[in-house]
Amino acid sequence: MNPLLLALSLGAALGQQPLEPGVPVTPESGEEQPLVRITGRIMDRQGLPLAGAWVTVGDHPQHTRSDADGTFELAMPESAGPSIEIHISLAGFDERIVQQALPPAGELGVVMRSGDTDGNAMGEIVVEDTQEAAAPIAHALDREQVELTPGTHSDAVRLVQALPGVSVTREYAPGAGGLAIRGSGPDEHRLYLDGVELPYLFHFRQFTSVVNTGLLEELTLYPSSFGAEFGDATGAVVDARTQALTPDKPLVGLDVNAIMAGGLVRAPLGRDLYLSASGRRSYMDWIIGGGSGQYTVWPVFWDAYARLDHVPDPDHRTALTALAASDYWERLVREPEELDPVEALAEPVLAYRHQYLATSLVRHDASQDFRSDGTLALVLDRWPAELQEHWQDRREGNLQLHQDFVWLLRSDLHLAAGVRGRAERVLRRASVDQPWPEVVEEAPMLARGLDVDEHIDRLRAGAYTELRAELGAWRLLPGMRLDHDTLTGAWSPDPRMGFKWRPTPEITVRGGLGRYSQFPSSDALSPTAGDPSLPAIRSEQVALGADGLIKGRLTLSGDIYAKQLREMVLETPGEPPLGGVEGRALGAELGARYRIRGVFFFWSTVSLSHSQRMLDQQWIRYDFYQPLTLGLVASWTFRPNWNAGLRYRYGAGFPYTPVVDGSYRADSDSYEPILGERNASAMPIYQKIDLHLEYRWELDHWRGAVYAEGWFIPGRANEMYPVYSYDYDQETFVFGPHFVPILGVRGELY
Amino acid sequence: MNMGPARYRSGSHVRVWQVYGTGYLRESWKRHPEASLSTPRANPCVAVFALCAGCFAPFEHDRHDLVDFRIIGLQVSNAAPAPGESLRARALVYGDHGFYHDALPSLSWQLGGTSATGPWVDLAAPDASGWWDLALTVTHADGLTTESAVLPLLVGADQSPIVPPRLPPVERGVIPLPLDSPAEALLLDERLGLPVSPSAWVDVGQAARVRLPLEDPGDLYSARWMTHDARGTFLELEPTTADWVPGTLVLDAEDLEVQVEDALEPGLYSMAVMAMDGQGANAWAFLDLSLEQPTDGDDDHAWMEHDGRLFELPAPAFEGGLYRVTLVADDASAWGVSLEDPQPILVDDPSAYDQADLAGCEHPMPTRAPLRLDLLAEGHCSRQQLLGARVTMAFTHPIHTWGDAR
């Protein structure tokens, strides 16, 4: 059904009479008055149309809703005044109030920003299909979905793992924090927070992400074949945006769960300035005290975020942000079970630390026909490790620039352009006289056993342009991107093309294709421990999808994709990088989603995937090969204060290289594993069911929430990774619990 | 995706080798009373949940247990040779049922570009300086099972040789450590305080303490104690000293109770010990421990020691000495043989060096010196080739006990 007709019928159902332009109003006096046409277009932050937005005028009864292309038209009597207040509201976005002079000088352009959904009235029916993701191949989550998706535990990266096309990883197993998406592994993706790429996203590589979902305004996953806006990535792009918080009064909050405790504070400072800050820290080290068994110092992590916003109006925002994270532990190099009591006393201790600080200046400007979003960031990262007299120290400082422009040339033609830049200096130093393979994850330079003393200076820059044209039912997005890297000397011109076609209001066909490039990491290019001759990685990708809206509520979607990769770099910690690797992936995804905003949302996915790498002249299963995954998420706010959620994940087990035997080392009286055929074995099937129940309340000057989650991991799905006997003659699996209860409480004073 | 092996303990019963870790954990608890006693880490993410102990069913055996065909150690005459230096290499291989082989395995050696086969081989160090791997592949007589080992050698001029030590006899003593001791009693500090009584026999309510009394002013050496057929439990005490408990200890980590499984019956229990300096200077020795004093048949017999092994022989008219014995199969013995018809002989007796019966061995055996049973474990001769042989062997008496060497 045409949304406008639907809107009109809804308006009738609500007892209001919409106004048709050009039709004179007959006031109560019975005299006709001349009308003035007011036209406008409602867009999202990226300049794409928003349909279904309610447009009302001050105290006047006139109202209308934006059409599929975001346009609206009102007719106001001339006598309404020299100017009127136009109110634009749309679920999921902050309400806009715009002063419009009469008669209008031209078409009104309104940019809506995502907002809190708490204010939505219960039972409001929102035509969900009119909310379109900005790009043809993308999955977007808004605030409600970010907050209420079960099993993600306020963890932004786990949230991404709930999306279609993302491989299912075993909770708390090695690699649990890694994102494998459409046949590409963690090293092939780019993850941005407000345009800034962070050194690491997961505490201890698998535990909890450094970004609290409470900070996020929206999160978009581009699984493959993304547009020209992003570069230096052959995998996926995760683009997370934090909220510009504009509290009208101070607020203090506390959040405690089974893993960590944190607090937040938000306050208006006057003169359109707003401050928000939050911090979290693990606390198990306080409970345990000191060390225990393997850990001579129990693992500690914390992260903190602060921002100062200047928001004179919604179209002009400046924010100064700072995000810091830290991980630290000390542990015996070998595990106590491998050591006899005498060895345990003499066993060396590894002190591991990784911490960074990312500060940024974020600026947003928008006008009727222009939008600008820019981020300038400074990231300082330090990664030291000590083991007896051996040590390593990796320090990186980089300056990042991320600037996007969108010109609204016409209502049906936008031009986007932008630049990216990253200037970095990496200091790599290590003093070690033997390899320490036991610490390969925490201290790769110590694992290699190579003395290193070098610095690497590097500049990566990119620029892009993309046209966004609406041609009837078609939206075309041709783009071009050019990247350059001073370290490899490579230039990467990457043409891209995206499209959407809506033959009917209920059906959308979308697709994207293009060339993609990625430069090897600075460590892979190290003259001491890497290979400076590694070229840029190249990839050609294509993706095609279709969405169908059924009965105005249920959306069914299907996607297929394919990619090939060349000149990939295989970086195995503790070993020199291997270049020239080829890769390929293809797959299909089916999905369904349904939503009543503020009440209920549901999505489910089925993904089939095939991904390989060529090693030793043969194609082998990729490390994150997962031929079948299933996912289901449902969240239901069944009473005003109560929410229940369910998430189910199913994934075939990742392959792994089995150990077939052990070789005895006569100097150290130990065994070294003899590996079998690469990725010849596979972990058991993984399944996880998350149940979530939350109760919220709000009283005078404070509100809170208490929640309980239960994680169920049936059967052999709780097997996390293999372990071997001392001589590698036997294999078994470390298994976690079948059931994990989690309790948490949040409170805010305002 | 490689995080390396990681192990946990559940709160339920675990095998004895967990005692070491638990002892250490318990010790940590003593220093930090608030420390968790339930699970050590490997994965902190799991350990932070009180209920989320990551576990795995413990393996039945650890490196102290000799149960299967296995390379125990490699030895080379100099682990830091000069370029081109001639080296002699040998290996200790545990057989299917003990320190012997009914059918000899094949030992194939490689060093640089040279190769050789046999239990004792002479190889030339490479001419180029640097690290080189002395590699050994041992193929079981069935032709199917192979074990491999590597000993890195640092070849270069102007460096001190790294030679294996000459091992003195292992000293035996007993300590008051009953099988049903509480877990705290197993801690290092607690055991260090126990008095040691020189004794070759372990009685009920006692545990053995064994020591390799190496001259080691540089504290270079540590000892790996191993028990034949996984009998008993070793608890290391110092680098070359350990306690041996005559049973399998099972620790209930929740209650910190030690329970005993498979308490050993009275009898002889055989072990091996390998001294290592971490650079390739390896040497091994053997010993028997007796649980409860064996009953002497009469005053005419005495327990005597052959390179750490205990045998009951006719009492000699003098201390220790040479005996002519006939080797017969003994599947119950870790050494594979028993000694029959022992006859003491004098050193200057011409028949003392009549080792003609060793000529049937697959690899040359010293025929002008007393037979050493080590050679069975090192693959010079199969048991089958020695059965019925009348040979000369050397014994000492009395049995070495605690403090003998000092």
Over residues A663-721, the pLDDT tens digits come to 999 998 989 899 999 999 999 999 999 999 999 988 888 888 898 989 899 989 989 88
Q: Among candidates A617, A559, A544, A613, which has minimal Cα distance to A584?
A: A613
Check whether A43 has a pLDDT greater than 80: no
The pLDDT, as a whole number, for residue A745 is 87
> Cβ–Cβ of B274/A669 closer than 8 Å?
yes
Report the residue of chain B nearest A711, measured CA to CA: B52
The pLDDT, as a whole number, for residue A105 is 64
Q: Please indicate if any CB of chain A lies within 8 Å of the CB of B53.
A: yes
> Cβ–Cβ of B149/A668 closer than 8 Å?
no
Higher pLDDT, A327 or A60: A327
Total residue count of chain A as it appears in this document: 750
CA distance A341 to chain B (A): 6
Name every residue whose Cβ is closer than 8 Å to that of residue B345 and which is 6 or more positions away in sequence. B321, B322, B323, B324, B351, B352, B392
Overall average pLDDT of the B339-364 stretch: 82
Least confident segment among A103-117, A266-280, A587-601 = A103-117
Report the residue of chain A nearest B48, measured CA to CA: A284
Sign of CA dihedral B378, B379, B385, B391: negative
- Name chain A contacts of B31, Cβ cutoff 8 Å: 290
Torsion of CA B30, B31, B36, B39, to 10 degrees: -80
Q: In A144-242, which ranges are E strands?
A: 190-193, 196-197, 216-222, 237-242
Overall average pLDDT of the A205-210 stretch: 71
- Name chain B contacts of A345, Cβ cutoff 8 Å: 188
The tens digit of pLDDT for each residue in B6-59 reads: 222 222 222 222 222 223 332 222 222 222 222 222 333 333 333 334 666 678
The pLDDT, as a whole number, for residue A120 is 30
> Cβ–Cβ of A258/B48 closer than 8 Å?
yes
Total residue count of chain B as it appears in this document: 406
- Name chain A contacts of B21, Cβ cutoff 8 Å: 293, 336-337, 339, 344
- Name chain A contacts of B1, Cβ cutoff 8 Å: 174-175, 623, 654, 656
Report how many helices (DSSP H) and strands (DSSP E) chain B contains, helices first. Answer: 5, 25
The tens digit of pLDDT for each residue in B77-105 reads: 999 999 999 999 999 999 999 999 999 99
The tens digit of pLDDT for each residue in A152-200 reads: 666 767 777 778 889 988 887 777 777 899 999 988 999 898 889 988 7
Spatial distance between the Cα atoms of A29 and A51, rounded to a whole number of angstroms: 35
The pLDDT, as a whole number, for residue A123 is 27
Residues 536-595 of A with CB under 8 A from B: 572-573
The pLDDT, as a whole number, for residue B320 is 59
Least confident segment among A281-285, A422-426, B295-299 = B295-299
DSSP notation for B61-72 = --TTEE-SSEEE
The pLDDT, as a whole number, for residue A644 is 93
The residue to which tokens 């991991």 are assigned: A713
The tens digit of pLDDT for each residue in B232-247 reads: 889 899 999 999 988 8
Q: Please indicate if any CB of chain A lies within 8 Å of the CB of B221.
A: no
Q: Please indicate if any CB of chain B lies within 8 Å of the CB of A663.
A: yes
Check whether B390 has a pLDDT greater than 70: yes
- Name chain A contacts of B237, Cβ cutoff 8 Å: 341-342
Suggest the residue from A667, A668, A720, A730 to mutate for an interface test with chain B (most B CBs closer than 10 A): A667
> Cβ–Cβ of A293/B6 closer than 8 Å?
no
The pLDDT, as a whole number, for residue B41 is 27
Least confident segment among A102-116, A251-265, A535-549 = A102-116
Residues 305-364 of B with CB under 8 A from A: none
When CB atoms are compared, the residue of A204, A290, A736 closest to B32 is A290
> Cβ–Cβ of A721/B6 closer than 8 Å?
yes
CA distance A597 to chain B (A): 35
* Half-sphere CA count of A623, side-chain side, radius 13 A: 15
Residue type, A441: E
Q: Please indicate if any CB of chain A lies within 8 Å of the CB of B150.
A: yes
When CB atoms are compared, the residue of B63, B70, B236 closest to A342 is B236
When CB atoms are compared, the residue of A341, A661, A726 closest to B23 is A341
Higher pLDDT, B182 or B253: B182
The pLDDT, as a whole number, for residue A8 is 32
The pLDDT, as a whole number, for residue B15 is 26
When CB atoms are compared, the residue of B5, B61, B63 closest to A723 is B5
Check whether A339 has a pLDDT greater than 80: no
Residues 54-73 of B with CB under 8 A from A: 54-57, 59, 61-63, 68, 70-71, 73
Residues 202-231 of A with CB under 8 A from B: 204, 206-207
Check whether A42 has a pLDDT greater than 50: yes
Overall average pLDDT of the B61-88 stretch: 93
The pLDDT, as a whole number, for residue B250 is 66
The tens digit of pLDDT for each residue in B189-210 reads: 889 999 999 998 898 888 999 9
What's the pTM value of the predicted model, to 2 decimals? Answer: 0.80
Check whether A376 has a pLDDT greater than 80: yes
Q: What is the ipTM of this complex?
A: 0.85
Check whether B213 has a pLDDT greater than 50: yes
Cα-Cα end-to-end distance for chain B:
52
* For chain A, percent of residues with pLDDT exceeding 90: 43
The pLDDT, as a whole number, for residue B360 is 81
- Contact present, A709 and A692 (Cβ < 8 Å): yes
Q: Among candidates A426, A429, A427, which has minimal Cα distance to A443?
A: A429
Higher pLDDT, A721 or B286: B286
- Name chain A contacts of B238, Cβ cutoff 8 Å: 342
Suggest the residue from B15, B32, B34, B46 to mutate for an interface test with chain A (most A CBs closer than 10 A): B46
Least confident segment among A385-399, B168-182, B211-225, B238-252 = B238-252
CA distance A672 to chain B (A): 9
When CB atoms are compared, the residue of B3, B36, B47 closest to A174 is B3
- Name chain A contacts of B15, Cβ cutoff 8 Å: none
- Name chain A contacts of B93, Cβ cutoff 8 Å: none
- Contact present, B383 and B102 (Cβ < 8 Å): yes
CA distance A749 to chain B (A): 29
Suggest the residue from A208, A342, A442, A731 to mutate for an interface test with chain B (most B CBs closer than 10 A): A342
- Name chain B contacts of A434, Cβ cutoff 8 Å: none
Report the residue of chain B nearest A666, measured CA to CA: B151
The pLDDT, as a whole number, for residue A172 is 72
- Cα–Cα distance list, B264 to A211, B170, B291, B292 (Å): 58, 22, 8, 10
- Contact present, B387 and B329 (Cβ < 8 Å): yes
pLDDT band at A92, cuts 50/70/90? low
> Cβ–Cβ of B41/A725 closer than 8 Å?
no
The pLDDT, as a whole number, for residue B397 is 78
Q: Please, what is the average pLDDT of chain B? A: 79
Q: Please indicate if any CB of chain A lies within 8 Å of the CB of B282.
A: yes
The tens digit of pLDDT for each residue in A584-600 reads: 999 999 999 888 777 88
Spatial distance between the Cα atoms of B218 and B211, rounded to a whole number of angstroms: 17
> Cβ–Cβ of B20/A339 closer than 8 Å?
yes
Least confident segment among A91-95, B39-43, B205-209, B215-219 = B39-43
- Name chain A contacts of B46, Cβ cutoff 8 Å: 172, 720, 736
* Half-sphere CA count of A409, side-chain side, radius 13 A: 11
- Contact present, B66 and B227 (Cβ < 8 Å): yes
CA distance A396 to chain B (A): 24
Residue type, B213: P
Residues 240-279 of B with CB under 8 A from A: 274, 276, 278-279
Q: Please indicate if any CB of chain A lies within 8 Å of the CB of B230.
A: no
Cα A497 to chain centroid distance, Å, stands at 23
The pLDDT, as a whole number, for residue A584 is 97
Q: Please, what is the average pLDDT of chain A? A: 83
When CB atoms are compared, the residue of B7, B56, B63 closest to A335 is B7
pLDDT band at A114, cuts 50/70/90? low
Q: Please indicate if any CB of chain B lies within 8 Å of the CB of A434.
A: no
